[in-house]
Amino acid sequence: MSSIDSSGGNTLRLLIVTPYLPHSRVGHGGGTSVRALVTQMAKRHEVTLFSLVRPGESGLISEVESELNINIIPYYFADIRSKWTKWPRLISDRAFSLLKSFFSGYPYYAEKYSSKHIDNKLLDAVKAIKPDAIHVEYLQMSLLLRTLIKAESCLKPNIPGLFIGTHELGSLPRQRKLQKTRNPFKSLALRHQEAAWRMLQVDVTDWADCTFCVTDQDRDLLTEDGGKNCRTIPLGIDTDLIQTVWESSDSKNLLFIGSFEHPPNRTCAKFLIDKIWPNVAQYNNESKLILAGRGSQQFLKSCNSVPASVNALGFVENLAKLYNKSQLFIAPLLDGGGIKIKILEAMAYGIPIVTTPIGAEGIVDQSDDALFISSPDGSFADSVLQALNDPEEAARRAIKARKVIEQRFGWSAIADELTKLYETM
């Protein structure tokens, strides 16, 4: 430990491992969360980031280092956006990951991020940095913790604390889909996937000194399955960076923002266009539905019979203007687990929100009276109309939602709690 930070605690050498380079245009909630975590930790500690870097991102490394005041050790990770010359190696690696998944019983999605090349580069980084703590982000990266456990003997005498932020339990969305499907083949696949994630989730708690779950529900589910040393550490929002911008106005825009590369967001938007929007537009024919986020324009082009009142903007750099010019944020989320960053961000910007229990889970419930929370059925459109027709009530809930963010989800307090755990585990 090299010095004393500005908050009066010890400055740690911290290595954060992430599948996403946290650049400002990362375009999805998980990457945004990683960026906020790194930003807060760099204010307190000496941070090195071990990050997978995808095609087209290498030019952003120095920018992120400068913006966040960190050092980055990149691992160049091929995917479908790679040049065609990389495809034979990519196909070979993915096939080998699938084979490993068959024998290990762990999800393919986790085995995809586990290879000798990544393992060796991470071990070299740990030996060079000698971190006091290693924080791995996302369950799909958790097999790297197993690598570190196996290599402990060669890391002595500086054995760091090992931590993992789960973001969501991979078993939970599969379980929810399983409950809905009537297709026997899809049911069989989902049962297999759910079992694979359950096994990985429990095993990772043996490798980590502490496992961070983003909701009490996730923590309790993991503990019931046999998980050890699980703590609830929510995802958060930088309340200094994101200020309330929404003001009740004459705007007729209803807004949904998300990365449309993420399947639950596409499912949500399809449900919104097909089932919710016709009922809303019938009574508010001046309203427009705005979809924003990476891939939203391509998504809309793929839909059939899209009303003229539905528009897609693609990736938007300045979200504050978009929130300011919209009347409601509507997110009828049907799938997924963990905390939804899109809901936290909308709450922080101060706009009234209509969402589902899945969208609000881990954040608020009906008793908080901060969001309009409705089941994803015909009643959801009724809730949207209620919010539109009672702007004073909508504004009151929006103010309450911002207070919830400040009291429960500010990144500064979350970073302080993480630091305590790094120092004591």
Residues whose CB is less than 8 angstroms from the CB of residue 185 and which lie 6 or more positions away in sequence, other chains included? none
Distance, in Å, from the CA atom of 347 to the CA atom of 74, rounded to the nearest integer, reads: 33
Domain ranges of the chain: 3-236+411-424, 253-408
Residues 138-158 have a mean pLDDT of 86
Confidence of residue 2 (pLDDT cuts 50, 70, 90): very low
**What confidence tens digit (pLDDT) does each residue in 28-53 have?**
778 888 999 999 999 999 999 999 99
Question: Mind listing the pLDDT tens digit for each residue in 353-363?
Answer: 999 999 999 99
Nearest to 33 by CA among 160, 273, 212, 218: 212
Say what the pLDDT of residue 9 is: 60
Do the domains spanning 3-236+411-424 and 253-408 agree at the CATH topology level? yes
Segment 160-190, tens digit of pLDDT: 999 999 999 999 999 988 988 899 999 999 9
What integer is the mean pLDDT of 288-302?
Answer: 94
**pLDDT of 53-108, one tens digit each?**
999 999 999 999 999 999 999 999 988 888 888 899 889 999 999 999 999 999 99
Report d(CA 226, CA 205) in Å as an integer: 9
**Token pair belonging to 172:** 């939970």
pLDDT at 5: 55
Residue for token pair 């049962």: 191
Question: What is the per-residue pLDDT across 313-341, written as a single tens digit (0 to 9) for each?
Answer: 999 988 999 999 999 999 999 988 889 99
Instruction: Give the pLDDT of residue 6.
Output: 47
Cβ neighbours, 10 Å, residue 205: 22
Prior bond to 173 cis, omega within 30?
no
As a whole number, the mean pLDDT across the chain is 91
Say yes or no to pLDDT of 209 above 80: yes
Q: What are phi and psi of 13, to 5 degrees?
A: -85, 110
CATH code for residues 253-408: 3.40.50.2000
Tens of pLDDT, residue by residue over 232-281, are 999 999 888 899 999 876 778 999 999 998 889 999 999 999 999 999 98
Measured CA to CA in angstroms, residue 81 lies from 55, 58, 128 at distances of 6, 13, 31
- For residues 194-219, average pLDDT: 96
pLDDT at res. 130:
92
Looking at residues 200-220, what average pLDDT do you find? 96
pLDDT class of 425 with cuts at 50, 70, 90: confident
Structure confidence at residue 266 (pLDDT): 93
Taking domain 3-236+411-424, whether its CATH number is 3.40.50.2000 is answered by: yes
Sign of the alpha-carbon torsion through 272, 276, 282, 284:
negative
For the chain, percent of residues with pLDDT exceeding 90: 76
Q: How far apart are CA 275 and CA 278, in angstroms?
A: 7
> pTM here?
0.88
- % of the chain beyond a pLDDT of 70: 96
Task: Report residue 83 as tokens.
Answer: 């040049």
pLDDT the model gives residue 4: 42
* pLDDT at position 3: 44
- What is the predicted pLDDT for the residue at 317? 86
Predicted confidence at residue 10, as pLDDT, reads 80
Q: How far is CA 363 from CA 38, 129, 321, 366, 407, in A?
A: 22, 36, 24, 11, 11
